[in-house]
C-alpha cells in the first residue's frame, strides 16, 4: 500500500480517536472505507538477531491484522448505527474503535521505527533531532535509559513513546496503556518513536525479560524516520 494512502488513513483514524464523539462527524461525512494491513518495509527476518523473523511475522500477520479487522468491523457497525440514529450503539462502539484503531495506528508507526542494521538501523540521530535530544535529555544515552526504565516499569501492556509537543517544540517521553495512541496524552503530541511493550512483541525470544528486549531494540531503531517526522513538525528556519 502506498505510504501516502497509509498516512491518509492513519490521519483519519487519529482524528476519530483524538476527537472522540466529535470525530464521528468526520466519519459520517466520508464514505465508509476499509483499512488494510500495511506492508513491512523489510523482510520478516531482516531485524535478526535483535527481533526474530517468527516474532515479526506473527506480530504483523496475526496481531496487527486482528486490529485492522476489528477496526473495520467496528467502523462498519458505527456507520450502520449512525444511519439508524442509534446513539446508544454509537457510544458503546467507542472503546472498540479506540482500541483497535489505536492498535492499527501504533503498529503502523512501529514498523517504520525499525530498520535492518544494513539499512541504517541503530545509527544515532543526527541533524536537528540529535541536537534536540541533547538539549532536552542531556544525551542520547540518557534518553535511552529513560525510555527503557519507563517501558520496563509500565504495568501490563502498552507503549513507551518519544514524541514532540508541536506547540512547545519540546521532546517528551510518555507511556500509554494498551493500544492508546500518544495523542491521548496530549492533543499536540506527535510520535517520533514508539516501542511496543506488549508481550507479543518479544515473548517468544526474550520470555518475560522485558528489559533485555528494550535494551536490544535500539540496535535496529530507525532514527532517520524519527528525524524526518521531527523536521516536518518542527522545521528550522
Annotated binding site for Mn(2+): 59, 107, 196, 200
Find, among 206, 119, 186, 187, the residue nearest to 195 by Cα. 206
d(CA 195, CA 171): 16
User: In the numeric block, which cell numbers belong to residue 234?
Assistant: 518542527
d(CA 167, CA 211): 32
Find, among 201, 206, 133, the residue nearest to 172 by Cα. 133
Question: 161 forms bridges with which residues in the sheet?
Answer: 174, 194
Q: Is 157 in contact with 199 (CB distance < 8 Å)?
A: yes
User: Longest C-alpha distance within the chain, in Å?
Assistant: 55
Question: 171 forms bridges with which residues in the sheet?
Answer: 164
Q: List, as residue ranges, the binding site.
A: 59, 107, 196, 200
Amino acid at each position: 500500500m502506498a505510504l501516502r494512502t497509509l498516512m491518509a488513513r492513519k490521519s483519519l483514524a487519529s482524528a476519530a480517536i483524538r476527537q472522540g464523539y466529535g470525530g464521528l462527524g468526520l466519519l459520517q461525512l466520508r464514505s465508509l472505507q476499509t483499512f488494510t494491513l500495511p506492508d513491512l518495509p523489510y523482510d520478516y527476518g531482516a531485524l535478526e538477531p535483535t527481533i526474530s523473523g517468527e516474532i515479526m511475522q506473527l506480530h504483523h500477520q496475526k496481531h496487527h491484522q486482528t486490529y485492522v479487522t476489528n477496526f473495520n468491523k467496528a467502523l462498519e457497525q458505527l456507520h450502520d448505527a449512525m444511519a439508524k440514529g442509534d446513539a446508544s450503539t454509537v457510544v458503546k462502539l467507542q472503546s472498540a474503535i479506540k482500541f483497535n484503531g489505536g492498535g492499527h495506528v501504533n503498529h503502523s508507526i512501529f514498523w517504520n521505527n525499525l530498520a535492518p542494521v544494513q539499512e541504517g538501523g541503530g545509527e544515532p540521530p543526527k541533524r536537528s533531532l540529535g541536537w534536540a535530544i541533547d538539549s532536552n535529555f542531556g544525551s542520547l544515552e540518557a534518553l535511552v535509559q529513560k525510555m527503557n526504565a519507563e517501558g520496563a516499569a509500565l504495568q501490563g501492556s502498552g507503549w513507551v513513546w518519544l514524541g514532540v509537543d508541536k506547540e512547545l517544540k519540546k521532546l517528551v517521553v510518555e507511556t500509554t496503556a494498551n493500544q492508546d495512541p500518544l495523542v491521548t496524552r496530549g492533543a499536540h503530541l506527535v510520535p517520533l518513536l514508539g516501542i511496543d511493550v506488549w508481550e507479543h512483541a518479544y515473548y517468544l525470544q526474550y520470555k518475560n525479560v522485558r528489559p533485555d528486549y528494550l535494551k536490544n531494540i535500539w540496535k535496529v531503531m530507525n532514527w532517520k524516520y524519527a528525524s524526518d517526522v521531527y523536521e516536518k513538525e518542527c522545521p528550522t528556519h
